[in-house]
Amino acid sequence: MMDYLRLAIGIAPFGIYLLVMGLLALRRTPTLLTSGQDVLLVGFALCGFALIGPIELFFPTGAYANLGEWAWLLLMALYFLVVLFFALQRTPGWTVLGLSCEQLRNVLDQTLVDKSIEHSWLGNQLEVPSWSIRAIVESSRGFPNTSHLTACGKQPSLMGWYEFEKLLMESKSLSASGSMISRTTFVQATVCIVLGLVCLLIAGILIDQDMARLQGWISRLLGG
């Protein structure tokens, strides 16, 4: 027999993730996501599957006997702490939605020139000596209006990347660089939005099929 509630828990966060990414792709203004934010978004998308998969598989029954339903919340908190740890360990970098590789390079160059910050280009590799930044501008595979700036080298400066991000967000070059949404991007974004809505609709129907069980779980959690 299908477990409606577990399936709904698995697909609901994934549907929200698809919906958010689709809406961001349709924005006229470019959206900058750090590598850590990328990890957090993916971690949220997969949290439902983690809950009904590995977390339930290795569920500590001893802790459940003492804590009751609160054990689930503690395990989810532990999951997000692990996701946060991996997000903080990621190599500095950005994902820019709404800009192609060439557009991102022009924006970065114009921003640094406007502030008279010394920098140099070697192909698609950018170097900013004052901030100890060395990074490569790359296009995203399958997404024409998405590009990446990824740190390269042995010891990237986190403070330098923070200053660079702050400068770029305050610059008018980024907001003014938005362009018309291409047909390919529109189709991809629409597919993401439709799939996200379908996932949320299915999750809502499944929860409705098992509403009594969900209400019972909430009641036990609140000590009712």
Q: Which of 19-28, 59-68, 126-135 has the lowest mean pLDDT?
A: 59-68
In a domain, 196, yes or no: no
pLDDT one-digit tens code per residue, 55-91: 777 777 777 777 777 888 888 899 999 999 999 999 9
Is pLDDT above 70 for 176?
no
Residue 26 lies in a domain: yes
Is residue 28 included in any domain, yes or no? yes
User: Letter for the amino acid at 97?
Assistant: L
Give which of 29, 184, 35 is closest to 107, Cα–Cα.
Answer: 29
Confidence category of residue 178, pLDDT binned at 50, 70, 90: low
222 domain-assigned: no
- Of 30-44, 67-81, 112-126, 172-186, the one with minimum mean pLDDT is 172-186
Q: Where are the beta strands (DSSP E) in the chain?
A: 31-34, 93-97, 120-122, 125-128, 133-140, 143-151
Q: How many domains does the chain have?
A: 1
Q: Three-state DSSP class for 180?
A: coil
Q: Domain for residue 217, yes or no?
A: no
Would the pTM of this model clear 0.75, i.e. be above it?
A: yes
Q: How far is 126 from 74, CA to CA, in rounded Å?
A: 43
**Which residues have a Cβ under 8 Å from the Cβ of 163 and sit 6 or more positions away?**
131
Give the C-alpha separation, 203 to 187, whole Å.
Answer: 24
Residues 6+ apart with CB under 8 A from 223: none
Query: In which domain, by residue range, is 21 found?
Result: 4-169
Report yes or no on 163 lying in a domain.
yes
Q: Does some domain include residue 83?
A: yes
- Cα–Cα–Cα angle for 129, 37, 203, rounded to 5 degrees: 165
Q: Give percent above pLDDT 90 in the chain.
A: 46
Span 87-104, average pLDDT: 90
Q: Is position 154 within any domain?
A: yes
pLDDT average, residue stretch 160-188: 81
pLDDT of residue 1: 41
Highest-confidence segment of 10-24, 46-60, 153-167: 10-24
For residue 42, pLDDT beyond 90:
yes
